[in-house]
Amino acid sequence: MKSNIFCHREPEGRGDLTIIAGRWPRFARHDRRHFFAVMVLGFLTLLSSTLHARIFIQIDQASDKKFPIAVADLIPQGKSSSIGEDIPDIISKNLALTGMFDLIPNNQHPTDGPGISPNLGAIQFAPWTLIGAQALVIGTYSGGKSGVQVDMALFDPVTATRLVSKTYTTNINEISIVANHFSDEIMRELTGERGVFSTEIAYIQAAKKGKEIGIMDMNGENAGVITKDKSINLSPAFSPDGQSIAYTSFSKTGNAEIYVTGSHGGGSKKITSSGTVNVSPTWSPNGLLTVAQAQEGDTNLVLLNMAGNIVRKLTSSFGIDVNPSWSPDGSQFVFASERAGRLHLFKADASGNHVERLTYVGVQNDNPAWSPKGDKIVFQSLEGNWDLFIMNTDGSMLQRLTSGSGNNESPTWAPNARFIAFTSTRSGKTAVNIMREDGANQTEVGPAGSLQPSWGPWVK
């Protein structure tokens, strides 16, 4: 989504670290330089550990105890449009999706007195620590429909430390972008990893006349279709730069061809015109399209350029080879194939050689997705219902992610490899859901009738 948001980063507070730094010249006057260097290094290491250990979330370690955080309503400055609850609501929704935070309810927040202040530097933190908050998100806003300035800050209320602050200048229609951006800042500061709240998910939206390509924020906000083909569109796939989406579209004659559209609309370009079946497009890391193409009774994988020309034939086998997914370094790809009977998963090198079978159990193993970190493959398998499984890239350490919750299909990874989006019927309707990579915190985010998600990359 294009926006006119301007963001300014404020200096980050680090407790008393600047004071300690200010004392260094006095120590430097002594001749015991080696002793001084060792002592300063040890002290700073201890200080850094003290400041950050309390609020740093060990994202790789499973924990039943969630991190307590308060997200306060924004404080208006003068006569302002009423957005004081909108941004905090989106931030709270984002943090809840991670399954790592205990959001302290608003009715427990301090409502007046020393707990809140229009001046972010004059907040009294004792009321927030009394309700158990180990992190505090608070901010102010001013302006109206013509323009809004939003000042946001994340604090450690126990040490009265400002961890990060941002000033955003935007319009009232783009406050969700502000909320998502600052949610990313919160994740970066508390986990040490970049957040994915500013990313988007493409999906298929069932409509009265066929199926169209839709796009939404990863939390389900701002969902809407970007094509009006009045056809059956399937299998959207984000390009590596996030600017394009490839998909399969069925014509009135029944042929399936590959199209590419801009990630925010603007018309579609037809890539293939083979008059046969072209399905399950995906992108290689270098921006070429990998497509399953029907050829003389079999379906094999081919690599296409943007003119629709075959750059390389990747597989040549009887039956069906379909639904490829590339390793992040482009050296290998995984795919589903009938070459061993029913659909099982195989991987090959970038030339299609050195084919190796990965799955030996399960029925109809399909739709593999290679993790952006390169270490895992998630896929669907039919065991009564469709469910999702995850394994190492050599086929070992097979684990089940979903069970007893309708059909769960079409997994796709977030760019940080911490979350998986997928299609589920658990609520009685088809909709896109999100879960953590270990299967925890499964949450519906997409509109009714949404399916086949494709998680887009980080975009500058």
DSSP labels, 184-221: HHHHHHHHSS---TT-EEEEEEEETTEEEEEEEETTST
User: Would you tell me how many other CB atoms lie within 10 Å of the CB of residue 127?
Assistant: 18
Share of the chain above pLDDT 90, in %: 70
Q: Is the CB of residue 197 less than 8 Å from the CB of residue 183?
A: yes
- Contact between 358 and 391 under an 8 Å Cβ cutoff? The reply is yes
Burial (CB < 10 A; 0-12, 13-18, 19+), residue 274, is middle
Residue 39: pLDDT band (50, 70, 90) is very low
- Tokens standing for 132? 């158990």
Structure-model confidence comparison of residues 103 and 161, the more confident one: 103
β-sheet with 419-424: strand ranges across: 408-413, 419-424, 431-436, 443-444
Determine the pLDDT at residue 333.
98
Cα separations in angstroms, 70 against 61, 93, 133, 136, 138 = 23, 12, 6, 5, 8
Q: Which pLDDT belongs to residue 444?
A: 98
**455 vs 202: CA distance, rounded Å:** 6
Checking if the pLDDT of 38 tops 70, the result is no
Give the integer Cα–Cα distance in Å for 135 and 152: 13
CA distances from 20 to 46, 49, 156 (A): 13, 15, 19
Query: What would the mean pLDDT of 430-457 be, rounded to a whole number?
Result: 97
- The CA–CA distances, whole Å, from 460 to 1, 69, 198, 209, 241 equal 11, 28, 10, 35, 9
Whether 37 shows a pLDDT value over 80: the answer reads no
pLDDT class of 14 with cuts at 50, 70, 90: very low
Q: d(Cα 67, Cα 64) in Å, to the nearest integer? A: 10
Q: 200-455 has which CATH code?
A: 2.120.10.30
Q: Helix, strand, coil shares of the chain as percentages rounded to 5?
A: 15, 40, 45
Burial 230-262 (b: 16+ CB within 10 A, else e): ebbbbbbbbbbebebbbbbbbeeeebbbbbbbe
pLDDT band at 34 (very low <50, low <70, confident <90, very high): very low
Cα–Cα distances (Å) from 171 to 131, 156, 178, 295, in that order, read 34, 29, 10, 52
pLDDT grade for 50, boundaries at 50, 70 and 90: very low
> Which three-class secondary structure state does DSSP give residue 98?
helix
Provide long-range contacts, Cβ within 8 A and 24+ apart, for 401-407: 401/435, 401/438, 401/439, 402/435, 402/439, 402/442, 405/442
Report yes or no: 183 and 9 within 8 Å, Cβ to Cβ: no
| Cβ pair 205, 214 in contact under 8 A | yes
CATH of domain 6-13+60-191: 3.40.50.10070
Tokens coding 299: 């379906």
Mean pLDDT of the region 96-107:
95
Burial of 30 per CB tally in 10 Å (0-12, 13-18, 19+): exposed
Where does the pLDDT of residue 48 fall: very low under 50, low under 70, confident under 90, or very high at 90 and above?
very low
Instruction: Name which residue leads in pLDDT, 38 or 278.
Output: 278
Query: What local confidence, expressed as pLDDT, does residue 121 receive?
Result: 66
pLDDT interval class at 295 (50, 70, 90): confident
Which tokens is 421 given? Answer: 């989006």
Q: Are 429 and 167 in contact (CB under 8 A)?
A: no
Average pLDDT over residues 379-386: 95
Q: Is the pLDDT of residue 322 over 70?
A: yes
Looking at residue 131, the DSSP 8-state letter turns out to be T
Mean pLDDT of the chain, nearest integer: 86
Using CA atoms, how far residue 27 sits from 30, 87, 99, 426, in Å, is 6, 47, 46, 65
Residue type, 416: N
pLDDT at 354 over 60: yes
Cα–Cα distance, 217 to 198 (Å, whole number): 7
Q: For the chain, give the percent of residues with pLDDT over 70.
A: 84
Which of these ranges, 36-50, 53-67, 80-94, 276-290, has the smallest mean pLDDT?
36-50
pLDDT tier for residue 17 given thresholds of 50, 70 and 90: very low
Would you kindly state where each structural domain of the chain is located, as residue ranges? 6-13+60-191, 17-53, 200-455
Q: What DSSP string runs through 267-311?
A: -EEE----SSBEEEEEE-TTS-EEEEEEETTEEEEEEE-TTS-EE
332 closest CA partner among 317, 346, 347: 347
DSSP 426: T
For the entire predicted model, the pTM comes to 0.87
pLDDT of residue 101: 95
**Residue type for position 229:** D
- Look at residue 59 in the predicted model and tell me its pLDDT: 78
User: Is the pLDDT score of 250 beyond 60?
Assistant: yes
* 3-state DSSP assignment of residue 181: helix
Confidence at residue 65, expressed as pLDDT on a 0 to 100 scale: 86
How far are the Cα atoms of 3, 101, 142, 143 from residue 84, in angstroms, in the given order? 21, 21, 10, 12
Question: What sign has the CA pseudo-torsion 283, 285, 287, 289?
Answer: negative
